[in-house]
């Protein structure tokens, strides 16, 4: 029934198994891959004919995690998986990026790659395995895919590079880097790092590239056994209209690409394109119109790229290394907790920081379990930022991906929870875009956080590098424009501080880049990053000394864990009452950590006093400020510690025993008392006369004067147990 083929190798200390012919046999290709006890199924299906009238390759990659893989049932009313999680979206992008450039140019058949996580051992992240399985399935499918590729995760644990570290090992790693590529070159890099030097980052990339070579050989070995026959594909003649387009458009495009302003340049290009459309007869055939558009884009690329490589000058007149003019502004929004407007050339990000409490933390459900996230970064790219109209709705893959890249860049610099116990959300609104809005978001996020008073370890900045490669000649570009990204060969983003790299992302459109090009790009990015940090320092060099006027204040105390139930109360009645009376927000962790937050100091103190009254006992010898709640013939009852009352005997009211209690205190009067101790029945003993009632300080005893004792003038039992004690006074 089954024609099963299998390949196994030892890789990174675990067995990697690739199998085909057992599942999903109606797909063009399917590979079941297992690493440790994590398993994925990757399938590939391609349409048999091109999708008409499109000028792009319609590839879709869907990575999906099933909760049964970890022995769980989904939450929610419907108890089934819903819209893709952030992890699924990011992994879909991660797999798409290195395989898309390897399809034959001109191939326009719709292709769908689906990777399903079917088993998860909580040790091996399925993303790398999913990429390997997808590559294997594409290699077997017969589609015009110029692979295979492979991928690896690289960590740095104890100063040593580690191949495919397990999930628990990553907690101690200073690097989380994913690298993918072919046998000859690197195709994609994605990483988060804790201020590591460029040299180590490059070493990690090449380490991963070297160590995934056995996987490429395993895929080739499987393909030798089970690959389908290559598809017989007739690609359209991409150069059919090249000469006609060049005659009509060459001079106009040269003028357009010597124009510095983006809007004017786009208008000039549009005029030239209109001339081409009107000057070349393609009839009503959609495929012919696509070929004409392809020829026009090819001419655009040739003119822009050739000029840069030959002259060293770019579209806007800059040399290869110069960064566009930068203006950093902070506190641009009056009511927000922190804000910044970062402008670099024609790219601008308005970034806002908001501080919240523990109840604002995001709960993230994953196959590994539920985690709480206290640092959030969201990126919005409205169509007006590029002068266009368009649909606005929930964030797409691009917005999620760019936001996560900026998150990775800033996250290593965030203070620990015990140092700064806030939930922090950053929102980057891209108000203008002409190249690397994600890196503008990094710079703006750093400034907004410092404006909000968040103690970042260091300011962080980012820069996008580009590449134009013509034969053996190439040029690495710093701070690329949108057109240089669109018409170039590489988008290489590097973020970090003065001390090192915190995030690195690389995508290419050619079949790979060399170690030499990566080294040049990293060195050039380092120079650019230092320049940007210096420009940012003109606005802020570090976090403000105090929080913004409208930010919540948080105080943290620790209570015994056996007192948590008392603070919460039956059905939450006690904590709700404290919140309503004080106006503060209260979060209680299982270890007894209590965070109290409010905009006003008085609200925090009121809540803390209530909590302390429930969880703490008064200390003998401590001076408290209290309020007289009842006056009796033999003394006054004072509420001095939360709900606790104590008796100040008439002999302890003032020096020289007064005739009556009323001549010293009245109900409602605030007084200072010292806790002397407890009598033989456990009743509280307080004294006023040894405290200066004006200052709250203890009056020093004269030399030889005996220490005050309560028992010397204890009232008769009938006085102490008389009807005037009341419930509060007898506590």
Query: Which of 202-211, 220-229, 260-269 is least confident?
Result: 260-269
User: Residue 716: what pLDDT?
Assistant: 41
Two tokens, residue 665: 């205190």
| Residue scoring higher pLDDT (40 or 419) | 40
Q: Is the pLDDT of residue 261 over 90?
A: no
User: Residue 704: what pLDDT?
Assistant: 56
pLDDT tens for residues 653-674? 988 888 898 889 999 999 999 9
Q: Is the pLDDT of residue 728 over 60?
A: no
How many helices (H) and strands (E) in the chain?
A: 16, 29
- Tell the CATH superfamily of the 5-226 domain: GHMP Kinase, N-terminal domain (3.30.230.70)
Mean of pLDDT values over 427-446: 96
The answer to whether 133 and 152 are in contact (CB under 8 A) is no
Name residues whose C-beta falls within 8 Å of residue 604's C-beta, 6 or more positions apart in sequence.
Answer: 553, 555, 582, 584, 596, 597, 598
CATH code for the part of the protein at 623-729: 2.40.50.140
Query: Which of 50-64, 301-315, 705-719 is least confident?
Result: 705-719
Q: Is the pLDDT of residue 722 over 50?
A: no
Q: Is the pLDDT of residue 109 over 80?
A: yes
**Phi and psi angles of residue 597, each rounded to the nearest 5 degrees, phi first:** -125, 140
User: Residue 714: what pLDDT?
Assistant: 43
Two tokens, residue 160: 């040593």
CA atoms within 13 A on the CB side of 54: 13
pLDDT tens for residues 541-590? 999 988 888 888 888 889 989 889 989 988 999 999 999 989 899 989 88
The answer to whether 194 and 408 are in contact (CB under 8 A) is no
Q: pLDDT band at residue 705, thresholds of 50, 70 and 90?
A: low
CA atoms within 13 A on the CB side of 349: 31
pLDDT tens for residues 210-252? 999 999 999 999 999 999 999 998 888 888 899 999 999 999 9
∠ CA 648-651-655, rounded to 5°: 105
Two tokens, residue 530: 């230092």
Two tokens, residue 533: 């940090």
SS3 of residue 468 by DSSP: strand
Report the chain's C-alpha Rg in angstroms. 35
- Is 1.10.10 the CATH classification of the domain at 242-311? yes
Q: pLDDT band at residue 727, thresholds of 50, 70 and 90?
A: very low
Two tokens, residue 244: 């006609």
Question: What CA–CA distances, in Å, run from 644 to 255, 637, 727?
Answer: 85, 10, 11
The answer to whether 638 and 731 are in contact (CB under 8 A) is no
pLDDT tens for residues 457-479? 999 999 999 999 888 888 999 99
Residues of the chain with pLDDT > 90: what percent?
A: 63
> How far apart are alpha carbons 136 and 391 in whole angstroms?
37
User: Residue 613: what pLDDT?
Assistant: 80
pLDDT tens for residues 352-396? 999 998 888 998 888 888 889 999 999 999 999 999 999 998 899
The answer to whether 159 and 68 are in contact (CB under 8 A) is no
Two tokens, residue 486: 């669109």
Q: pLDDT band at residue 706, thresholds of 50, 70 and 90?
A: low
Residues of the chain with pLDDT > 70: what percent?
A: 95
Query: Which of 76-85, 194-203, 685-694, 716-725 is least confident?
Result: 716-725
Domain spans of the chain, in order of start? 5-226, 242-311, 326-536, 553-615, 623-729
Two tokens, residue 652: 């302890």
Long-range Cβ pairs for the range 304-307 (8 Å, 24+): 304/257, 304/483, 304/484, 304/487, 305/468, 305/470, 305/487, 305/488, 306/470, 307/257
> How far apart are alpha carbons 170 and 35 in whole angstroms?
17
Model confidence, pTM: 0.83
* Number of C-beta neighbours around residue 277 at 10 A: 14
Helices 242-256 & 262-279 angle (0-180, nearest 10): 160
Mean pLDDT of the residues in the chain: 90
Name residues whose C-beta falls within 8 Å of residue 92's C-beta, 6 or more positions apart in sequence.
Answer: 61, 62, 63, 84, 397
> How far apart are alpha carbons 55 and 58 in whole angstroms?
9
**Phi and psi angles of residue 68, each rounded to the nearest 5 degrees, phi first:** -60, -20
- Same fold: 5-226 with 326-536: yes
Q: Is the pLDDT of residue 709 over 50?
A: no
Mean of pLDDT values over 426-452: 96
* Number of C-beta neighbours around residue 531 at 10 A: 18
Backbone region of residue 656 per phi and psi (left: phi > 0; alpha: psi in -120 to 50; beta: other values): left
The DSSP H or E segment spanning 360 is none
* DSSP-assigned beta bridge partners for residue 464: 493
The answer to whether 506 and 493 are in contact (CB under 8 A) is yes
**Phi and psi angles of residue 11, each rounded to the nearest 5 degrees, phi first:** -145, 115
* DSSP-assigned beta bridge partners for residue 178: 153, 190
214-241 b/e (C-beta count within 10 Å ≥ 16 → b): ebbebbbebbeebbeeebeeeeeeeeeb
User: Residue 164: what pLDDT?
Assistant: 97
The answer to whether 547 and 353 are in contact (CB under 8 A) is no
> How far apart are alpha carbons 375 and 397 in whole angstroms?
20
- One DSSP character per residue, 89-149 reads HHHHHHHHHHHGGGBPTT--EEEEEEEEEEE--SSS-HHHHHHHHHHHHHHHH-SSB----
For the beta sheet containing 59-65, the strands, ordered from the edge strand earlier in sequence to the opposite edge, are: 5-11, 14-20, 29-35, 38-50, 109-119, 59-65
The DSSP H or E segment spanning 31 is strand 29-35
pLDDT tens for residues 31-50? 999 999 999 999 999 999 99
Q: What CATH number matches the domain at 553-615, 3.40.50.10800, 3.30.1370.10, 3.10.20.30, 1.10.3470.10?
A: 3.30.1370.10
| Residue scoring higher pLDDT (621 or 708) | 621
Q: Is the pLDDT of residue 270 over 60?
A: yes
SS3 of residue 575 by DSSP: helix
The answer to whether 168 and 190 are in contact (CB under 8 A) is no
pLDDT tens for residues 496-510? 999 999 999 999 888
Q: Is the pLDDT of residue 726 over 80?
A: no
Q: Which CATH class is domain 326-536?
A: alpha beta
> How far apart are alpha carbons 268 and 130 in whole angstroms?
44
């Amino acid at each position: 029934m089954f024609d099963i083929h299998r390949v196994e190798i030892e890789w990174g200390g675990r067995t990697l198994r690739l199998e085909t012919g057992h599942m999903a046999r109606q797909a063009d290709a399917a590979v079941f891959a297992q690493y440790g006890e994590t398993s994925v199924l990757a399938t590939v299906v391609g349409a048999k004919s091109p999708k008409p009238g499109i000028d792009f390759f319609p590839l879709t990659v869907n990575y999906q995690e099933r909760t049964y893989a970890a022995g769980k049932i989904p939450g929610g009313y419907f108890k089934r998986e819903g819209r893709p999680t952030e992890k699924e979206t990011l992994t879909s992008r991660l797999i798409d990026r290195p395989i898309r450039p390897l399809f034959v140019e001109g191939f326009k058949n719709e292709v769908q790659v689906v990777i399903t996580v079917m088993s998860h051992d909580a040790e091996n992240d399925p993303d790398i395995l999913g990429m390997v399985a997808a590559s294997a399935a594409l290699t077997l499918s017969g589609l015009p895919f110029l692979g295979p590729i492979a991928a690896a995760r690289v960590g740095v644990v104890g100063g040593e590079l580690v191949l495919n570290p397990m999930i628990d090992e990553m907690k101690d790693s200073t690097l989380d880097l994913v690298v993918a590529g072919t046998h000859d070159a690197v195709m994609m890099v994605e990483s988060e790092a804790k201020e590591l030097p460029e040299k180590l980052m490059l070493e990690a990339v090449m380490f991963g590239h070297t160590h995934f070579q056995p996987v490429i050989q395993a895929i080739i070995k499987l393909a030798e056994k089970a690959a389908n026959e290559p598809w017989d594909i007739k690609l359209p003649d991409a150069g059919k209209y090249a000469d006609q387009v060049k005659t009509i458009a060459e001079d106009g495009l040269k003028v357009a690409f010597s124009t510095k302003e983006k809007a004017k340049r786009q208008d000039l290009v549009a005029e030239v394109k209109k001339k081409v459309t009107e000057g070349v007869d393609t009839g009503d055939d959609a495929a012919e119109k696509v070929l004409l558009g392809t020829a026009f884009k090819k001419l655009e690329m040739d003119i822009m790229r050739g000029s840069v490589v030959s002259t060293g000058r770019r579209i806007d007149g800059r040399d290869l290394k110069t960064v566009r003019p930068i203006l950093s502004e902070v506190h641009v929004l009056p009511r927000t907790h922190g804000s910044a407007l970062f402008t670099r050339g024609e790219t601008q990000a308005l970034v806002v920081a908001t501080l919240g409490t523990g109840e604002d933390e995001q709960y993230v459900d994953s196959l590994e379990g539920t985690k709480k996230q206290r640092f959030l970064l969201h990126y919005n790219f409205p169509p007006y930022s590029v002068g266009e109209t368009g649909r606005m709705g929930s964030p797409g893959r691009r917005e999620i991906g760019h936001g996560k890249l900026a998150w990775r860049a800033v996250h290593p610099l965030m203070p620990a929870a015990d140092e700064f116990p806030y939930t922090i959300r950053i929102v980057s609104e891209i108000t203008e875009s002409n190249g690397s809005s994600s890196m503008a978001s990094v710079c703006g996020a750093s400034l907004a956080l410092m404006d909000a008073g968040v103690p970042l370890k260091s300011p962080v900045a980012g820069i996008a590098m580009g590449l134009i490669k013509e034969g053996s000649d190439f040029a690495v570009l710093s701070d690329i424009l949108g057109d240089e990204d669109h018409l170039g060969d590489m988008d290489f983003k590097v973020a970090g501080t003065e001390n090192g790299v915190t995030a690195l992302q690389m995508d290419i459109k050619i079949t790979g880049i060399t170690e030499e090009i990566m080294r040049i790009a990293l060195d050039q990015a380092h120079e650019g990053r230092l320049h940007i940090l210096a420009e940012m320092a003109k606005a802020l060099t570090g976090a403000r000394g105090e929080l913004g006027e409208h930010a919540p204040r948080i105080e943290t105390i620790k209570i015994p864990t056996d007192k948590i139930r008392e603070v919460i109360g039956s059905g939450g009645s006690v904590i709700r009452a404290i919140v309503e009376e004080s106006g503060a927000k209260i979060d209680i962790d299982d270890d007894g950590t209590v965070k109290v937050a409010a905009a006003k100091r008085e609200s925090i103190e009121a809540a803390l006093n209530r909590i302390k009254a429930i969880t703490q006992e008064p200390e003998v010898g401590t001076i408290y400020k209290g309020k007289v709640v009842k006056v009796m013939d033999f003394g006054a009852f004072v509420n001095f510690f939360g709900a606790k009352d104590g008796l100040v005997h008439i002999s302890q009211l003032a020096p020289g025993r007064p005739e009556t209690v009323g001549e010293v205190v009245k109900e409602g009067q605030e007084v200072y008392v010292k806790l002397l101790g407890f009598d033989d029945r456990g009743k509280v003993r307080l004294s006023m006369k040894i405290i200066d009632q004006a200052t709250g300080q203890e009056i020093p005893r004269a030399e030889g004067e005996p220490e005050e004792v309560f028992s010397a003038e204890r009232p008769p039992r009938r006085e102490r147990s008389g009807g005037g004690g009341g419930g509060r006074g007898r506590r």
